[in-house]
Amino acid sequence: MKKRDNSINTMSTDKRPMSTNEYVGIAVIVVVLTLGLFFYINIKNQDINFSRRAFAGLINGRQAVQEMIDWENFKAVGADAGKTYSALPDDKEKADYQKAFIEQFSLGFRQTGGRFKSFINWRIYDNKGEDIIVAADYKDKDNQTILFTVSGYGPKKLEAVQWEQRR
């Protein structure tokens, strides 16, 4: 006859308390992950806020927006403003062009009945390569999204403003 083994086979578990170093290690990991997420969100928000400020400056005719635009490369709603700007012979004509461009952009926007508050759902649209593209949907027109191309390196500059049909 076989003898029955009534002993319970349990795995040994280490029930020792965590050391201070282990707590510090976990805390450091949590802090690093939290800071990383904060900086990632903050960087995205900076690009969106920059685009909003630049667009508001353009549509309100604020001349201070000149400093936010990459005039040599600027493309606006199908026009190559940068090409025209770069062909101008001197700084005075370039300054006059900047002023006139901002005034005309603002005037055109107001004449079409556009309102800044009609632009909703501001977001990062594309973040590939050197530039960041910020998008905002235009709620007063079906399927219209405005795209802002912002330089990704160095000081932020607005490089393009263009419309896109949403699908």
Give yes or no for a contact between 61 and 68, defined as CB atoms under 8 angstroms apart.
no
**DSSP codes, 116-155:** GGGEEEEEEEE--TTEEEEEEEETTSTTEEEEEEEESSSS
- Read off the pLDDT of each residue in 25-37 and give the average, rounded to a whole number: 65
Residue 71 has pLDDT above 70, yes or no: yes
Tell if the pTM clears 0.95, that is, is over it.
no
Q: Does residue 7 lie in a domain region? A: no
Q: Does residue 1 lie in a domain region? A: no
Q: Does residue 52 lie in a domain region? A: yes
State which residues form the domain around 44: 20-165
Q: Does residue 6 lie in a domain region? A: no
| CATH label of the domain that carries residue 110 | 3.10.450
Distance CA 166, CA 144 (A): 6
CA-angle at 131, arms to 128 and 135, nearest 5°: 85
Q: Does residue 15 lie in a domain region? A: no
Give the number of domains in the chain: 1
